[in-house]
Chains A and B, each alone.
Chain A
Amino acid sequence: MRYERPATIEDVTALLASGGEKSFVLAGGTDLLVRMKNDAFEADLIVDIKAIEGMSDVTRTADGFEIGAAVPCAALGENAELSRVWPGVVEAANLIGSTQIQGRCTISGNLCNASPAADSVPAMVAAGALARIAGPDGRRTVPVQDIPQGPGKTSLRKGEFIEAIVLPDPGPRSGDAYLRFIPRTEMDIAVVGVGVQLTLAEDGSIASARVALGAVGPKVIEATEAAETIIGTRLDQPALDALAAVCSEVSTPIADKRGTVDFRKQVVGVLAARAAKIAYQRAGED
């Protein structure tokens, strides 16, 4: 195995493009290095991106935030401005693993690991986050939900890697929230996760909404039909019931040791309604 720590993005993409099939980007390593402990897994090339300038920075831009691919999740929670504007995304990122994992793990890595149960991903999708990809042929920017293609599979092409996650400014009267179900208080993998983002009209009704569901399909589900049930409402009980029903309907979970299909389909509706309420309250205070 080769370890490289290039200083430029161009060098990263060149290394990844010329490396074998088993070439990997190393940021926090909390998924990659665990996989490497497994004897069946062998990496040919590991490209550490942490020596690249700006890769470990959260940057406030004119229209949002850019979160470098090597920013540990703990640093997101320490960023007061980001936590104020995108509390749901930050809470989701801070749910991942222990303090030790928080010091290393990244939301770009959470996305690229492509686990259906990734906590930060539904929150990012609800937030309308974009992934900025660098590759041998230059840069492209895609919605976050276009990256995972199924368990462990991404749409990244040979030589490409995510250099930053871009969170747009949500505008006034906006709020977001992420909730997950686990059978204990922390240090567990989501049985179901739901991210909701809302923006209110001046009269307090919901002007726009995004709902994203995690761990109830092979990849994150952006539930557009579910979001439509609450747009135009003030999140009264019929709207919450409709939201929950559609979330259950569009979910396609598997049954495993963490939960049955029926359980997950029910819980996804309950969590969607609860997350929507939190997002609604936050939007009202914004």
Chain B
Amino acid sequence: MASLPVSTTINSDDVEYLCHADESLLDVLRDRLGLMGAKEGCGTGDCGACSVIMDGRVVCSCLVLGAEAEGRNIETIEGMADGNTLHPLQQKFIEHAALQCGICTPGFLMAAKALLDTNPDPSEEEIRFWLAGNLCRCTGYDKIVRAVADAAIVMREERA
């Protein structure tokens, strides 16, 4: 199978790679680019563990072809912290113990970031509906919802 050349932007860096036509963006990120944050849970768009932000929308990278990333702007968990300074969402996930095994966490963080980027003051219901595509088998979700709500407050204060 011939390889396709792809030029894209990942976490503000220009990136070029070769991938196969049937290779998912998730596989490209993990296997070719060494960005292991996005996880493969189900591989069929049900669990959200592979969530990344593409052109401002959170998507399952397992349901995007690597070739489709051409010319797009991709954000992954690796670009979330600013050097050693954690993003407020990351900080609040730690403070609220919103993770246990951690497999779902990068996906939750990317989905929550996409929410707060567009809706800085979501209600609890809005947070729960927005994150319904991310599955967590450890926390029971309440801690995650509280962490996102708390991060939203911090982010609003930072903006003010």
Contact = CB atoms under 8 A, between A and B. Distances in A.
A160 interface: no
B80 interface: no
A97 B4 CA distance: 30
Given A3-B4, A33-B65, A98 B57 contact: no
A186 B125 CA distance: 12
- Secondary structure at chain B's binding surface: helix, strand, loop or mixed? mixed
A261 to B, nearest CB: 28
B89 interface: no
B115 to A, nearest CB: 8
A48 B21 contact: no
B64 A104 contact: yes
A162 B152 CA distance: 41
Interface stretch (B28-36, B42-50, B98-106, B137-145): B42-50
Given A29-B63, A29-B64, A33-B63, A98 B22 contact: no
B65 to A, nearest CB: 7
Contacts of A112: none
Contacts of B133: 97-101, 187
B77 interface: no
A30 B24 CA distance: 12
A72 interface: yes
Given A3-B4, A30-B63, A104-B59, A186 B132 contact: yes
Given A48-B68, A103-B57, A186-B132, A36 B22 contact: yes
Given A48-B68, A74-B57, A104-B63, A99 B1 contact: no
Contacts of B59: 100, 103-104
Given A2-B21, A3-B21, A187-B132, A29 B65 contact: yes
A244 interface: no
Size class of the B contact interface (CB-based, 8 Å): 20 to 34
A101 B43 CA distance: 13
Nearest to B64: A29
Nearest 10 A/B pairs, CB to CB: A98-B133, A103-B57, A3-B21, A100-B133, A100-B60, A33-B63, A103-B59, A1-B21, A1-B22, A34-B44
Interface of A: 1-3, 5, 26, 29-30, 33-34, 36-37, 43, 46, 48, 50, 72, 74, 97-101, 103-104, 186-187
Interface of B: 1, 4, 21-22, 24, 43-45, 48, 51, 54, 57-60, 62-65, 67-68, 70, 111, 114-115, 129-134
